[in-house]
Each structure stands twice: as structure tokens, then as C-alpha cells.
Amino acid sequence: MDHINYCKQFLKAGGRILDIGAGRGKFLAGMAELGFEVYGVETNPEYIGGYVLGTRAEELPFEDASFDFVNCAEVSEHVDDPIKMLKEIFRVLKPGGRCYISFHNRWGVYDYHYHLYFINWLPRRLAEFFLKLLGKQKKDGGAGRQKLETMHYFTFCKIKNMLKSFGFIYKDIRIDKIKSRFRGFAEIFSIIYLLFLRPFYFNTFHVLLEKQ
């Protein structure tokens, strides 16, 4: 199931959607074609226009409880303050509204920002040293934090504590995928995933939030 079809299952016809970090607006365009009311926010000036507003995720220009669904994919690592962003997401969601959100794994074996294996297993200063040697260092700029030592990476335990502090109900999306794909062997694969793959292999955590 692609991302648009995954998200639309949580929405009624005509539902109101916000995309944080809308980029070129591909997700919003797809949801608009399905008849949903769409809005986006983005900090990169190249992508602002139409239904994409130029603003930070920590300062959403919308009223309380105004959205049925928020999409926040590959954004949390780039913002200045993930806590404020989560607070804003909680504020603009309607009761019972949901949010798809991703977080980067501090110990993920592969980092797709830099297309390197094991860089996240190093202390950040040492990692930056190797990035400089390899000519892969990035600078923070208009598209948010891009430098490895300034981006926000998390353990899943840290994520759980953040989400609980706001009152979100949360679900690890990969657990549902394991249950649907492996069925009779789901319990075994879930244990392997929780003990080894989630903490030390996958580069991102994909979480579905619900506002109580």
C-alpha cells in the first residue's frame, strides 16, 4: 500500500488534511484528487505557493482542532524544536484526528541523508570528522537542519516519552505490517523486530498518532 492509500483509510470524504514539510506538494496533490481539503506548510521558498504556506512547523497558522489528519513525513529531524512541532500538531488536530509521523533512528545502520552505513553508530563529533574527510558534510540552511550533529535523531523510548507527554495514542506502523504479512509467524517476527531491527537496523520509525 502506498503512502496516499495508507493515509486515506483514516479519513472520511471531504476530510481536512495538513501536510507539514509539503515539499513539491506531491502528497497534497494526490489527496486533493481524491476530494480532500488540503493545506501544506513548507520553509523552502522554492516550494511555497498555492495551498502550501511558508511557515515553520512550530508556528502553524491554523485554528485549534481544525484538521482531521496531519502528515509529517521526514520532517522531525530538520525542524528547530520537535517538541514545539508536536505541540502544534496536537493543537490543530481535531479530537479523534490522526497524524502520520516519522522520526530518525539514532542507531539506524544506514543513514539515507548521507547515504552511508554505520555513521550513526559513531559519536557525532567523530561522525562529522569522517563526513568532512569524505566530502559529505552539509550545512544548515533554508530547508532546515541538514548537518548530522544538529539534526534530531531519537531512540524509540525517547519518542514514546514525548508522545505520552502530549496525550497522543501511538502505534508503530511496522508492527501492523508484520501482523498482516507474516500472520502465523507474526509473533516471532515481532520479537525479532522489537529486540533487534527497530533499535539497531531501521533508519526511521514510522508512527501513527491519534489525538484523544
- β-strand pairing of 93-105 with 67-72: parallel
pLDDT at 5 over 90: yes
Band the pLDDT of 121: cuts 50, 70, 90: very high
Band the pLDDT of 143: cuts 50, 70, 90: confident
Instruction: Encode 46-100 in three state secondary structure.
Output: HHCECCEEECCCCCCCCCCCCEEEEEECCCCCCCCCHHHHHHHHHHHEEEEEEEE
Mean pLDDT of the chain: 95
Q: What are phi and psi of 25, to 5 degrees?
A: 85, 20
CATH for 42: 3.40.50.150
Mean pLDDT of 110-136: 96
Mean pLDDT of 32-60: 94
Band the pLDDT of 110: cuts 50, 70, 90: very high
Q: What is the pLDDT of residue 142?
A: 72
Q: Which residues contact 210 (CB under 8 A, 6 or more apart)?
A: 96, 97, 98, 99, 168, 169, 170, 171
Number of domains in the chain: 1
Q: What is the pLDDT of residue 1?
A: 75
Query: Measured between alpha carbons, how far is 108 from 100 in angstroms, rounded to an integer?
Result: 20
Q: Output the CA–CA distances (angstroms, integers) from residue 114 to 45, 128, 135, in the order listed.
A: 23, 11, 11
* pLDDT tens-digit readout, 49-98: 988 999 999 999 999 999 999 999 999 999 999 999 999 999 999 999 99
Closest by CA position to 88, among listed 74, 101, 105, 103: 101
pLDDT at 100 over 90: yes
pLDDT at 104 over 80: yes
Q: What is the pLDDT of residue 99?
A: 98
* pLDDT tens-digit readout, 158-212: 999 999 999 999 999 999 999 989 988 999 999 999 999 999 999 999 999 999 8
What is the span of the domain harbouring residue 102? Answer: 3-211
